[in-house]
Amino acid sequence: RAFARELTIWSQLQHRCVAEFYGFWADFKVGHAWLISPWAPYGSVRDFVASRDLAIPERISLVYDTADGLEYLHSQSICHGDIKSANVLVNAERRAVLCDLGLARLHDENFARLESTGAFKGSLRWCSPELFNDQPRSSQSDMWAWAWLVWEIMTGRLPYHEAKADYAILAKIFEAKRPEVDNNVQLADCAELWDLMTKCWETEPTTRPTSAECRAVVSWMVRSTEKRYIVERHDRSPLPTVASLYTTCQRFG
């Protein structure tokens, strides 16, 4: 059932920042099935960041891709449900693309019924507080996780990286413990991005910015750093201006 749900959702999507769906292959004798997408030569964005000394503009460019892909999913009434660096690939054009839609769900009552209430699902470090209170995954919980994805891209660190045990991670989540930005991390020079991330970590889900608003803000940041240096990519179309997207992004400036 979960496989059929992921296949149904993924096969409907087409966006440059969402991994392309090629089809599926099944071995009915052993009961195994695989969803097929293009090969991503650079691996996950976690591996890509860890293996390279990326400049700030390069990291922000990857952040933009994730916001772009997530905004597309939300515009299709789909929440991803498991946003983290391991579920973001870097393709041949060095573009970050969202993948692994196994926990994705449509904002639809019929799909909501398919969710199991018997056991918690998701990646603990990236989960927002409301998910531990029997609330379903949503676009708002995606934004909480997206901010931690940005943290990973910008710093190379996991959420609550100093915590090892699950109970310690849970304690930090419910304490609303936020990481500290110092001169040793890339975020120290990105005040606008840090401000946006902290808004995504609001405990009340309805006060978090939307993916469209985040995309607009990061688009402005890409433009502001473009003259300094942007990682070269093949077949990358011009980025939209903030003015053509959302003037509401000014409240995050």
Percentage of residues in the chain having pLDDT higher than 90: 50
Residue 69 scores a pLDDT above 50? yes
* Structure tokens belonging to residue 116: 């199991």
Confidence of residue 200 (pLDDT cuts 50, 70, 90): very high
Which DSSP string do the residues of 106-145 spell out, in sequence order? ESSHHHHTTS-SSS--S-GGG--GGGGGTPPP-HHHHHHH
Q: How large is the average pLDDT for residues 222-249?
A: 47
Token pair belonging to 27: 């071995």
Q: Which two tokens stand for residue 99?
A: 């993948």
Looking at domain 41-98+122-252, its CATH class is mainly alpha
- Domain limits of the chain? 41-98+122-252
**Cα dihedral value 223, 227, 228, 230, nearest 10:** 60
Euclidean distance between CA atoms 253 and 249, whole angstroms = 7
| Contact criterion met (CB below 8 Å) for 225 and 51 | no
Q: What is the DSSP letter of 183?
A: T
Q: What is this structure's pTM?
A: 0.79
